[in-house]
Amino acid sequence: MLAGVITPPIILANAANLTPDQQRYLVSTSLIVCGILSSIQITRFHIWRTPYYIGTGLISVVGTSFATIPVATGALSQMYATGFCPTSPTGQKLPCPDGYGAILGTAACCALLEIGMSFTSPRMLKKIFPPIVTGPTVMLIGVNLISSGFKNWAGGSGDCFGRPQTGLFRLCPNINAPRPLPWGSAEFIGLGFSVFITIIICERFGAPIMKSTAVVIGLLVGCIIAGATGYFDRKPIDAAPAVSFIWVHTFKLSVYGPIVLPLLAVYMVLAMEAIGDITATCDVSRLEVDGDMYDSRIQGGILADGLNGYACCFWLIVMGVFAKFAAALVAIPSAVLGGMTTFLFSSVTVSGIRIISTTPFTRRTRFILAAGFTLGLGATMVPNWFAFVFTYKGDNRALSGFYNAIVLIMETGFAVVAFVNLALNLMLPEEIEDEETPELTANEADEVADREEWERIRKGRKDEEGGVSEDGVGAKVV
């Protein structure tokens, strides 16, 4: 849980090139906000004079979502390319807090969709967003994120990734780090493997509690090895104050049009993800997973999920931070963080595959999956495939923003597969004989033939012992 909470703010802060103080602020605020919003989910508030609730009343944790990372990082890259975020004369990307504020403001507006979905029947939501839609979407979110994790595993996903020959980032994470090395050095790869191997060892030999916390244990082991070998930088930790207060950092909120549609797709996925989480929590808590009470928990859970996303903007601005703890998390070497996050992102991919496996693999299902993956996987593997379609260079900002929105959507693989699968699932009719007969091996076919032969023999013996009259009453043969 801890690893999942701190990873998104670290990745987004790096993508926006925020200052170390701002990075610490985001990490600590994520922890505080998750604690507050989890209490809302667990408490379950009744909305006065309505049949609706906020929260489930079940023990569950509300954490940051990986689903927003591909959209946010893609938007920040586009902001730097269009001049929304500043760059130096040499082309180096400068801190862009306004870009991060634009993402927060847009997310707050798009969260209204999930709030509206909470008042829709869960059965209707499951019909509109079946596993054939949500499964591929979750899967491609994980596939997209694995790239970021692997870059960090090899040294960093920032400016040092391209191995420039000169400048501050010719070594990773930069030339001022305690032990900077070129991107992809064996030392970085080894640090990442120390985390990955520790996770495997915990799963194979560890007690149940160790298996549940294998990711955190792997992160701790990687940090210990990095500290012992001189890769851990203590300067940011020493420079950070012990405690910080609210309003230390603020972000100018705005709406960035190109990410509206991708974020709407994200919130649709989050709503269906919330339904699955609540259903699983009810199941392990030995509570009913059907009926009015279950529907009310689904409604309350989705509404809380949407309101919590809407409230994140406020808390991310006003929440105080504990700077020392945040500084320690931000100071984790990229290779160690990459070894952990790559495993987490792969788990997201596997979750998507599991969701897909819950639907029968009929011809219709296979066609929808193939059509969605045609564009979704292609856009994930070649992100800039749609970058040169529009050549407009005029001064019309509205038109440029519209083109940028289309480009960002078409370059976001999970958004493409979500829209394609959703449309095809609603358009293609369900066939009566869509279920295919399973293939039989030679031995299985022989067993089936033997059973059918014995049935014919028994039926023949019964016919010899007694007849059947026209009115269906059996008669003894004399």
Domain residue extents for the chain:
2-427
Q: Closest Cα to residue 64, out of 23, 26, 109, 105?
A: 26
CA angle 423, 138, 409 (to 5 degrees): 55
What pLDDT is attached to residue 182?
A: 92
What pLDDT is attached to residue 202?
A: 93
Mean pLDDT of the chain: 79
How far is residue 199's CA from residue 215's CA, in Å, rounded to a whole number?
6
Instruction: Write out pLDDT tens, residues 357-410.
Output: 888 888 899 999 999 999 999 999 998 898 888 888 877 777 887 888 888 888
Question: Can you read off the two tokens belonging to residue 273?
Answer: 């993800």
Q: Which residues contact 12 (CB under 8 A, 6 or more apart)?
A: 26, 69, 72, 73, 76, 100, 103
What pLDDT is attached to residue 366?
A: 93
Which of 4-18, 58-72, 173-187, 192-206 is predicted least confidently?
A: 58-72
Question: Can you read off the two tokens belonging to residue 231?
Answer: 């890769």
Are the C-beta atoms of residues 414 and 137 closer than 8 Å to each other? yes
Q: What share of the chain is helix, strand, coil (3-state, %, to 5)?
A: 65, 5, 30
The reply to whether omega before 241 is within 30° of 0 (cis) is no
How far is residue 384's CA from residue 259's CA, in Å, rounded to a whole number?
16
Higher pLDDT, 474 or 317: 474
pLDDT classification of 43: cutoffs 50, 70, 90: confident
- CB count within 10 Å of CB 199 equals 23
Q: Closest Cα to residue 387, out of 258, 196, 219?
A: 258
Instruction: Write out pLDDT tens, residues 191-233.
Output: 999 999 999 999 999 888 888 889 889 999 999 999 899 888 8
pTM of the model: 0.75
Question: Can you read off the two tokens belonging to residue 410?
Answer: 């078409």
Q: pLDDT at residue 281 above 60?
A: no
Q: pLDDT at residue 190 above 90?
A: yes
